[in-house]
Amino acid sequence: MSNVFNERSAFEFTVTTERPTLDHYRRGWIPGPDAALAGMWIGAVVNNSAGQTYWGLRGADDFLTGMTHVVSPIAGFKKLRPTFDSEQPHLFAEYSTIDWFEPMAYADTAASVSLTYPSGRIERDADGLHWHDASGRWEIHGTNVTDVFTVHVPVQDGVAEHAYYRHELMAATGTIDGIPVSGYLHQDYAYGAPGRVYPELPIVRHLQGMWVSWMHEYPDGQWGGGCFWQGRDGVAFGPGYHVTDGVTIAHDDITATPAFDDAGKLTRLDANIGSDTYTFTFDTSGSYIHYFGRLTASSSAKVPSRSWCWVEYAGALLAPEILDMAMAPFDLARGR
């Protein structure tokens, strides 16, 4: 079975790209007026030399300002198997049963910015991004493949408060559990009205049907990839970007057609981005809403030597009522 997104009910939004600078990662940076940080995430999909895939995820400021956590569905690092079983094994047992929230310290100098918390740190400097486990069980380093992409959804009918989302892709290297790995890394941010956090923003509450992030490498070492959203059923919302020949290009009219098996699992996605087309196939779940696969065809006819595609498809699970229930335990900590 299949769905086609972006059929009706268009919303106004704008898309931009810009070269990343160290200022983009300072906590005082905002993409526009009357906006404040509402969440930041680090996500990695990497492989070792034997082809084993690992998925890691860390979030900050998206439920409680000044706190970092391992992100639900509880991640740390998972060892992905090619199965749609959402119960994938955790590499480190302590991450398998609780979504740890930890207070973080922020350091900002002319040469770097860093978030440090009891179980690790995330740092940005002239060499890129660095994600360390405090016990040395992993370290992941990223260098930019794309510019910074940002989408802005302004106040309008059906959107009571504005929101921004930004995303960038990086080539990743490092070690996990002592084993060298490489692959793709991304860092994304959300911004909204001051005092808001991500589950309270209109993109996730009213617009999101599917979120897609991918990267691929060709045999000559050239990178490609991108990220885009699709609106939930009946909502036309297709902001995103892709990088081709080293150039990051933003689009506001991306469309994608997913296909699902009889059990409702995502198996294929055909995307139209500008004059280019991409086909992704999927054989792995990381949770009930996260799917992993690879780029298997494109209009360029070039065949990548390796690729990674990560999709979040929640169906009707991200309804405002569910998001409000998820936020309720944090009301006291937020002074509500």
Whether residue 99 is contained in a domain is answered as yes
Total domains, the chain: 1
Give a yes or no: residue 2 inside a domain.
Answer: no
Asked if residue 54 is part of any domain, the answer here is yes
Write the secondary structure of 239-261 as one string of H (helix), E (strand) and C (coil). Answer: CEEEEECCEEEEECECEEEEEEC
Rounded CA separation 95/74 (Å): 6
DSSP β-bridge partners for residue 138: 176
142 torsion bin: left (phi>0), alpha (psi -120 to 50), beta (else): beta
In a domain, 9, yes or no: no
The helix (run of H) or strand (run of E) holding residue 320 is: helix 320-327
Q: Report whether 181 contacts 199 (CB < 8 A).
A: no
Exposed (0-12), middle (13-18) or buried (19+): which is 300, by Cβ within 10 Å?
A: middle
Is 222 domain-assigned? yes
The residue ranges of the chain whose pLDDT is under 50 are 1-8
Tokens 């990743």 belong to: 172
Flag whether the pTM goes above 0.85: yes
Has residue 1 been placed in a domain?
no
Kindly report, residue by residue over 143-177, the tens digit of the pLDDT: 999 999 999 999 999 899 999 999 999 999 999 99
Tokens of 313: 């498809």
**Cβ distance 153 to 111 under 8 Å?**
no
Residue 170: inside a domain: yes
| Identity at 30, one-letter amino acid code | I
Residue 317 confidence (pLDDT): 78
How many CA atoms within 13 Å lie on the side-chain side of 148?
18
DSSP 6-32: --S-B---EEEEE---GGGGSTT--SS
Domain carrying residue 287: 14-330
- Tokens at 308, concatenated: 């990674």
Instruction: Give the integer Cα–Cα distance in Å for 202 and 159.
Output: 6
Query: Given this model, what pLDDT does residue 201 score?
Result: 97
- Residues 309-323 pLDDT 10s: 999 998 777 889 999
Q: Is residue 8, in this structure, part of any structural domain at all?
A: no
Q: How far apart are CA 90 and CA 74, in angstroms?
A: 9
Identity of residue 109: T
How far, in Å, CA of 38 to CA of 147, rounded? Answer: 21
What's residue 9's pLDDT? 58
Amino acid code (one letter) for 56: G
